[in-house]
Amino acid sequence: MRKLARAAALAGAGGALYALIVRGYLTLDVGVGRAIQPLGPLVRHIEAPVEVVFDVIAAPYLERTPRALEEKLQVWERGSDMVLAAHHTPLRGGLTATTLETVRFTRPTRIDFRLVRGPVPHVAESFRLRPLGAGSELTWSGELGTDFWALGRLWGQRVARVWERAVRDSFEAIAAEAERRAAPRGG
């Protein structure tokens, strides 16, 4: 009976630890067995000028966050070229992953994200924009770091899949809004 109680307690503690890490309440950053893996690159052609695409990405951070994004994005501190923002990503099982990141803006070609707190100890990523014909090319890439050797690498691969899916979804929303703004107005 004691073994069963101990196993249940361990499973409960493991589940609680998992929830704390995923929700971004606990970041294990010990620098032991650190492994870095690439994120991306993801590339998307958008039929809108670089300046329009940049403004679509930057506006929710540098201006008032639209109500439609309030459940996904909270800006904690806002400066002229950098913000501190919490990003919320819904996951299976009813959990929401929360990351706290600095976001730096270099108008009109680059937006850099640096993880402050989240499910892994290190993420650095960027959105880069370049003119491409009458439109733009948006590229996302970065790196994700985890501790604890092979166990950390497995965790990092899991986190990277969710991270890349969230960025892919963002690309679609960015492209739709930028192309809408850049479309000629009918009269």
Tens digit of each residue's pLDDT (9 = 90 or more) over 24-57 = 677 778 899 999 999 999 999 999 999 999 999 9
Domains of the chain are 2-182 (3.30.530.20)
Based on its alpha-carbon atoms, the radius of gyration of the chain, rounded to whole angstroms, reads: 19
User: Rounded to the nearest 5°, which phi and psi values hold at 50?
Assistant: -50, -45
Dihedral angle sign, alpha carbons of residues 155, 157, 163, 165: negative
Single-letter code of the amino acid located at 152 = G
Task: Output the CA torsion 174→116→100→27 (10° steps).
Answer: 130
| pLDDT over 70 at 10, yes or no | no
Range with the largest mean pLDDT of 7-21, 63-77, 101-115: 101-115
Tell me the pTM.
Answer: 0.89
d(CA 96, CA 80): 29
